[in-house]
Chains A and B, each alone.
Chain A
Amino acid sequence: MSTLHARDVIINVPGRPDSYALNMDIEPGQTWGVLGPNGAGKTTLLHTLAGLLPPRSGQVMLNATSLTKLKRRDIARHLGLVFQERQDSFPATVIETALIGRHPWLSAWESEQGEDLDRAQHALAALDVDHLSDRLLNTLSGGERQRVAIATLMTQNPDVLLLDEPTNHLDLHHQVRVMNILRGQADAGKTVFMCLHDLNLAARWCSHVLLLYTNGDACWGPAESMLQPSALERLYNQKLATVEIDGAPVFVPVSS
């Protein structure tokens, strides 16, 4: 189990004055959703928390250690990230793609063993893409590729899961399936932190929410206290109607 701490982190969004400093403790068992309009810095924040981009100031700590003091390989054993965009310059099959998740766990001369293959196949089955394992990635649909990317993260099996819009390209059923899987990971003691575009997914599945404003303002806390219609309307500059279904709020944009 690992906790990710943001200590006075100001993310480096090019051309934007210093934003509000983030001080968050992202703890095991929690599912965080980051909401904000386009260009607010959600992806930049995610990359900063993964140690892939340096913050303008402050530091990110994995448990008690600053990310800058850890080797990439050690970070990768504790923290994994699903990117919003992926490069596939060379043809690769689905199973090969899932198996690269084992990379941080294998030494230079080791190759993937039966156990690694089991993990990969298990993850592909959980994401409902196991029937595609021998297909080339570039022959899949956007949603299928998204599910393969999440399966790669599950194969990596880190304590802290960072995801950049994990429900992109997914149909409704698979959105629910992915959110259930992620919530299940948190319930099993993992730490989940993801950028989302869908307020209603955040309202139903996230325990904590971070609102990121275009001007760099931010606020965070337990989901029910953050998902206030007035705050969300200001966040997206969009009028919302709210209804309640099964005890969870559902937000619908309305034209004003």
Chain B
Amino acid sequence: MTRSLLCLVVVSLAAVLLALALGSVTIPPRGLLDVIQGEGSALHRTLLWDLRLPRTLAAFATGGLLAVAGALMQVLLRNPLADPYVLGLSGGAAVGALLAMLTGLGTLLISGSAFAGAMLATVLVFGLAHGTGSWTPSRLVLTGVVVAAGWGAVITLMLAVTPSYKLPGMLYWLMGDVSYARTPWPPLIVLALSLVAILPLARNLNVLARGPMQAAALGVSVRPLEWTIYLLASLLTATAVTTAGSIGFVGLIVPHMLRLVLGNDQRIILPACALAGGTLLVLADTLARTVIAPEQLPVGVITALLGVPTFLYLLHRSR
């Protein structure tokens, strides 16, 4: 099992190197080596240190955040189809970000507004689902889906009343775009810290996946654990969405595919999600930058185009 994690580390590094080498100007392996040693041409140095490395790291962190958030939500709801996108968290963030763009606020405020939107969406969904009764997973999923549809309507409404010159920026944000990332550090730090925080709880999550009653009977304090996962997953999602807009399917397909291969031990799955989610988004972003270079595609389009058929295939193949 540790071997599969090591494998994933190697694959991640390879993906990052590939992303650094490819682009409108291809840097050959020799060139990469030169730049890393502090030599090489000025163009290569600028490309690598100032443009590609921050963007690649931001993509990696965002993918990791989304995949880990998805895995956590799936355990919380004991539903392998749950993810931040399905539960309307991304929708809330999108409304926040668009609102900031519509009123002409700066980048920093757009990020803050997206973060606030994601947190608001979480509180809304979990508060409504809690209601007067208990927190049943099916109720939570249903509430999430309906609230997500609500956000969708609000987004459409906002787009309809937006002056056309502002539309392209908004649309790119909606489709998810890593070029919005200013600095890779906030998402990377959040990802690393949350992994450190959640790994000691991973065996608790394994037990929680068997249902709350069984978990309680095996010594898990279920309610505090559920709140911890829920808050952490929301924070991860909000950070990811703030970094790169709303990117779908990473939180859904990455944990799902890893479970098919590695089983459902969260001690393996959670770090594996961080690595595989990061790798997937780095590769998708590289594709987005190079397919029709020098034009760029929003990375959310690539993940959706890859994610939808992969997911349908997996779903069809399983029971």
**Whole-angstrom distance between the Cβ of B224 and the nearest chain A Cβ:** 10
Contacting A at CB under 8 A, from B199-221, are: 200-201, 203-204, 206-207, 209-211, 213-214, 216-221
Task: Check A256 for interface membership: any CB of B closer than 8 A.
Answer: no
Contacting A at CB under 8 A, from B252-281, are: 259, 263-265, 267
Task: Check A72 for interface membership: any CB of B closer than 8 A.
Answer: yes
Question: B-facing mask of A136-158, CB < 8 A → 1, else 0?
Answer: 00100000000000000000100
Chain A residues near B218: list those with CB within 8 A: 76, 80, 100-101, 103-104, 156
- Interface size bucket, B side? 20 to 34
Given A86-B214, A106-B203, residue A77 in contact with residue B78 (CB < 8 A): no
Task: Check B46 for interface membership: any CB of A closer than 8 A.
Answer: no
Given A90-B264, A92-B263, A108-B200, residue A83 in contact with residue B219 (CB < 8 A): no
B211, A87: Cβ atoms under 8 Å? yes
Given A72-B221, A96-B263, A108-B201, residue A90 in contact with residue B213 (CB < 8 A): no
Partner of A100, one of B80, B210, B259, B319: B210
B80, A73: Cβ atoms under 8 Å? no
Q: In the bound complex, how far is the Cα of B211 from the Cα of A47, in angstroms?
A: 14
Task: Check B79 for interface membership: any CB of A closer than 8 A.
Answer: yes
Closest-by-CB residue of A relative to B265 is A96
B207, A103: Cβ atoms under 8 Å? yes
Chain B residues near A237: list those with CB within 8 A: none
A83, B217: Cβ atoms under 8 Å? yes
Given A80-B217, A89-B80, residue A111 in contact with residue B267 (CB < 8 A): yes
Contacting A at CB under 8 A, from B163-210, are: 200-201, 203-204, 206-207, 209-210
B219, A104: Cβ atoms under 8 Å? yes
Task: Check A91 for interface membership: any CB of B closer than 8 A.
Answer: yes
**Whole-angstrom distance between the Cβ of B135 and the nearest chain A Cβ:** 15
**Whole-angstrom distance between the Cβ of B295 and the nearest chain A Cβ:** 42
**Whole-angstrom distance between the Cβ of B1 and the nearest chain A Cβ:** 10
B221, A87: Cβ atoms under 8 Å? no
Chain A residues near B319: list those with CB within 8 A: 138
Partner of A86, one of B203, B211, B216, B221: B211
Number of interface residues of A (CB under 8 A): 33
Q: In the bound complex, how far is the Cα of B204 from the Cα of A104, in angstroms?
A: 10
Among B78, B79, B80, B214: residue with most chain A CB under 10 A: B214
Q: In the bound complex, how far is the Cα of B219 from the Cα of A138, in angstroms?
A: 24
Question: A-facing mask of B75-102, CB < 8 A → 1, else 0?
Answer: 0001110000000000000000000000
A86, B210: Cβ atoms under 8 Å? yes
Chain A residues near B211: list those with CB within 8 A: 86-87
A92, B264: Cβ atoms under 8 Å? yes
A89, B221: Cβ atoms under 8 Å? no
Chain A residues near B79: list those with CB within 8 A: 89
Given A88-B210, A90-B209, residue A72 in contact with residue B200 (CB < 8 A): no
Q: In the bound complex, how far is the Cα of B214 from the Cα of A47, in angstroms?
A: 11
Q: In the bound complex, how far is the Cα of B220 from the Cα of A138, in angstroms?
A: 24
Q: In the bound complex, how far is the Cα of B214 from the Cα of A83, in angstroms?
A: 8
Among A75, A97, A103: residue with most chain B CB under 10 A: A103
Task: Check A12 for interface membership: any CB of B closer than 8 A.
Answer: no
Q: In the bound complex, how far is the Cα of B236 from the Cα of A80, in angstroms?
A: 35
Q: In the bound complex, how far is the Cα of B201 from the Cα of A236, in angstroms?
A: 46
Task: Check A52 for interface membership: any CB of B closer than 8 A.
Answer: yes
Task: Check A71 for interface membership: any CB of B closer than 8 A.
Answer: yes
B210, A72: Cβ atoms under 8 Å? no
B214, A91: Cβ atoms under 8 Å? no
Chain A residues near B203: list those with CB within 8 A: 103, 106, 108, 111
Q: In the bound complex, how far is the Cα of B116 from the Cα of A181, in angstroms?
A: 57
Closest-by-CB residue of B relative to A75 is B219
Given A86-B210, A108-B201, residue A50 in contact with residue B217 (CB < 8 A): yes
B219, A89: Cβ atoms under 8 Å? no
Question: B-facing mask of A101-135, CB < 8 A → 1, else 0?
Answer: 10110101101000000000000000000000000
**Whole-angstrom distance between the Cβ of B200 and the nearest chain A Cβ:** 4
Chain B residues near A104: list those with CB within 8 A: 218-219
Contacting B at CB under 8 A, from A23-55, are: 47, 50, 52
B201, A100: Cβ atoms under 8 Å? no
**Whole-angstrom distance between the Cβ of B221 and the nearest chain A Cβ:** 5
B259, A90: Cβ atoms under 8 Å? yes
Chain A residues near B265: list those with CB within 8 A: 96
Chain B residues near A103: list those with CB within 8 A: 203-204, 206-207, 218-220
Q: In the bound complex, how far is the Cα of B280 from the Cα of A162, in angstroms?
A: 47
Contacting B at CB under 8 A, from A49-90, are: 50, 52, 71-77, 80-81, 83, 86-90
**Whole-angstrom distance between the Cβ of A17 and the nearest chain B Cβ:** 23
Task: Check A19 for interface membership: any CB of B closer than 8 A.
Answer: no
A71, B221: Cβ atoms under 8 Å? yes
In the assembled complex, 17 residue pairs joining A and B whose CB atoms fall closer than 8 Å, in A order, are A52-B213, A72-B219, A72-B220, A72-B221, A73-B219, A75-B219, A76-B217, A86-B211, A87-B211, A87-B214, A90-B80, A90-B209, A91-B263, A100-B207, A100-B210, A103-B206, A103-B220
Q: What 4 A-B pairs come out closest when comparing CB atoms? A: A76-B219, A104-B219, A87-B211, A108-B200
Known: A52-B216, A83-B217. 9 other contacts (CB 8 A): A52-B213, A72-B219, A77-B219, A87-B214, A91-B259, A91-B263, A91-B264, A92-B210, A103-B204
